[in-house]
């Protein structure tokens, strides 16, 4: 559920609520803001997940180098380096899921 006191996000941005708040330059941070990737970033880093052959079929594997590259660029609030250094493991996974979600949303999906 979205807090009605939080400002609306620009189109293509997602809010990631943190299970464990972090310290920002202006105090406690309870959520990160990510923007969607641009075309040049997609062409540079590729998709954050890849299908590979596995026993019994195909498996979707996370491309952690691409996910890290996207996190470095897509976290717009707070500073991405500051944020990543303090994230709990569960919050880092939530950021990964949002990044992956940018690649799986339908073209008509306008939710923020």
Mean pLDDT across the chain: 90
In a domain, 64, yes or no: yes
- Number of folded domains in the chain? 1
Give the DSSP letter of residue 30.
E
Instruction: Cis check for the bond before 72: say yes or no (omega within 30 of 0).
Output: no
Helix (H, G, I), strand (E, B) or coil at 80: helix
pLDDT (0 to 100) of residue 86:
96
3 domain residue, yes or no: no
95 assigned to some structural domain: yes
7 within a domain of the structure (yes/no):
no
Domain coverage including residue 44: 13-102
DSSP H stretches of helix in 1-112? 39-45, 64-74, 80-86, 89-102
Averaged pLDDT, groups of 10, the chain, 112 residues long: 72 95 92 97 96 92 96 95 95 97 70 50
48 occurs within a structural domain = yes
| 76-99 per-position pLDDT tens digit | 999 999 999 999 999 999 999 999
């Amino acid at each position: 559920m979205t807090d009605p006191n939080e400002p609306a996000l620009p189109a293509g941005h997602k809010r990631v609520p943190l299970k464990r708040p972090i310290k920002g330059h202006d105090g406690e941070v309870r959520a990160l803001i990510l923007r969607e990737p641009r075309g040049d970033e997609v062409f540079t880093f590729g998709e954050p997940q890849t299908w590979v052959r596995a026993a019994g079929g195909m498996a979707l594997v996370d491309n952690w180098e691409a996910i890290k590259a996207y996190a470095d660029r897509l976290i717009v609030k707070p500073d991405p380096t500051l944020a990543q250094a303090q994230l709990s493991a569960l919050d880092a996974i939530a950021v990964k899921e949002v990044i992956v979600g940018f690649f799986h949303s339908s073209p008509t999906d306008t939710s923020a």
